[in-house]
A = this chain, B = another copy of it.
Amino acid sequence: MNSPDEIVLDDEQQQARSWFEALRNRICAAFEEIEREAGSDATFVYTPWRRDGGGGGVRGLIKGRIFEKAGVNVSTVGGQFAPEFARTIHGAADDPTFFATGISLVAHMANPHVPAVHMNCRFLATTKRWFGGGADLNPPLPYQQDTDEFHDALRKACAAHPGAGDYPRYSKWAEDYFYIPHRKVHRGVGGIFFDHLEGDFVTNFAFVRDVGEAFLDVFPRLVRRRMGAAWTDEDRAAMLAYRGRYAEFNLVYDRGTLFGLKTGGDVDAILMSLPPLATWA
């Protein structure tokens, strides 16, 4: 669905891109399967976009009975950073040439008992080459069991790749990153965040793949656990207020949002992370 044929990918870039797109397909199939179980025929709608300057992506969006709004984007872009922006990016200060491929997912759920979630994996190349990524759970009504399982899944993915995964560091990084300073609250119950994972491509890529696999394993399980739970108007109101905080984080602080807007990404893809409905009391 995505053929950024005007940028030439080397072998590592191609491997990363192919895997991210395959993961997208599997995640979208898993989400659609959950919709089927809930008696809904909602499916992802895919919209390709091209980037001026090189590459493009495909945004995928489902609006279902369980997934009130979930966006799964893949993009593969390359070219030259704007000079001022280049100075802020690892390895691009003296040469603004860059390549980036990644998958980014945000799911806002209809049922306040089901956690919202974010997951992202990316491979960047400037004069340096690195992976980055993360996943964090955003339950409007947190359950310790769900939080623990989510963290456990990511801990195991890290533990399986001692040369790349570092759960204590990455979970602390998520705690620091997914924080709303002006509210003095975290945006969710954490997960992992990592960036500038340089070094051996094979080792690092294997870790990143396991992060994707861990997400694909754990999140649908959490959804199925809670999607049948009854909720009250108060629960729904709490969810909408929670989503207001989520929108604040993404618009004021999120680096991925900034990266997308600064590199001429597709605004509908970048802002697909925003909630379908949110309140500010």
Contacts and interface: CB of A to CB of B under 8 A. Distances in A.
Interface string A237-281: 000100010011001100000000100000100110011111111
A279 B275 CA distance: 7
A179 to B, nearest CB: 14
Contacts of A280: 69, 247, 271, 274-276, 278
Contacts of A276: 279-281
Interface in A136-176: none
B277 A279 contact: yes
**Most chain B beta carbons < 10 A, residue from A247, A276, A278:** A278
Interface in A207-252: 240, 244, 247-248, 251-252
Given A251-B251, A251-B252, A244 B274 contact: yes
A189 to B, nearest CB: 22
| Size bin of chain A's contact surface | 20 to 34
Nearest to A265: B182
Contacts of A240: 277
Interface in A42-70: 69
B251 A248 contact: yes
A281 B274 CA distance: 9
Given A276-B281, A278-B277, A251 B247 contact: yes
Contacts of A261: 182
A276 B69 CA distance: 20
29 contacts: A69-B280, A182-B261, A182-B267, A182-B270, A182-B271, A183-B267, A240-B277, A244-B274, A247-B247, A247-B251, A247-B278, A247-B280, A248-B251, A248-B271, A251-B251, A251-B252, A252-B252, A271-B280, A274-B280, A275-B280, A276-B279, A276-B280, A276-B281, A277-B277, A277-B278, A277-B279, A278-B278, A278-B279, A278-B280
Given A247-B278, A247-B280, 11 more contacts: A182-B267, A182-B270, A182-B271, A252-B252, A271-B280, A275-B280, A276-B280, A277-B278, A277-B279, A278-B278, A278-B279
